[in-house]
A and B are shown apart, each in its own frame.
Chain A
Amino acid sequence: SQTIHQWPATLVQPVGSPLSLECTVEGTSNPNLYWYRQAAGRGLQLLFYSVGIGQISSEVPQNLSASRPQDRQFILSSKKLLLSDSGFYLCAWSVKGWSGGYTFGSGTRLTVV
């Protein structure tokens, strides 16, 4: 069966520090991968999505970047965190051409102090 792992679960980082959040999917190949952010009291904001290794599409210009170094690995990064980067970050995957929907990871709660 397919599983998605996201870590860490919680993270507290000072302003100006770097960030690296990792997401991996098991049990499937060539998935579509997504990073979403949920700010407090707000909905889901799509940050990045990837249809293959090295292929990243950015939905919102910001202080963050994403990379897909391997087929089932998706990394969200920042060189210097801002207070406004605080939020709940969710990774998700889907099967290409399938109508079953997205499967989400358990999320990372990031607090920038």
Chain B
Amino acid sequence: AQSVTQLGSHVSVSEGALVLLRCNYSSSVPPYLFWYVQYPNQGLQLLLKYTSAATLVKGINGFEAEFKKSETSFHLTKPSAHMSDAAEYFCAVSEGAGNQFYFGTGTSLTVIP
């Protein structure tokens, strides 16, 4: 069975500070992992994805995530937070191409000026 755990439902950072959003997964097979961002009253937008290629994945808006098999983690980072990064972030896991996704409960990121 697959599952995703996002530690911290709310994260606040100062503008210009490091952003770290945590995601741990469980999967019985090598997973596909995704991060999505959701701005208020909008749909989800794909930030980045890991599909068994390079373990460090770069996405849009300066975000990146590193797949660590030994830690079953796929944390999302950005070196310097911008006010426009304030949004809800969802981690998701899939056990294969085209298979169903399992989403985490989301982390709301607040950026303090």
Contact = CB atoms under 8 A, between A and B. Distances in A.
Interface residues of B, number: 23
Interface of B: 32, 34, 36, 41-46, 49, 51, 90, 92, 94, 96-98, 100-101, 103-106
B43 A104 contact: yes
Interface stretch (A12-20, A42-50, A62-70): A42-50
Interface residues of A, number: 25
Contact of A99 (B42, B92, B98, B103): B98
A44 B90 contact: yes
5 contacts: A43-B104, A88-B41, A100-B49, A101-B101, A105-B43
Contacts of B51: 99
A43 B92 CA distance: 11
Interface string A88-113: 10101011111111111111010000
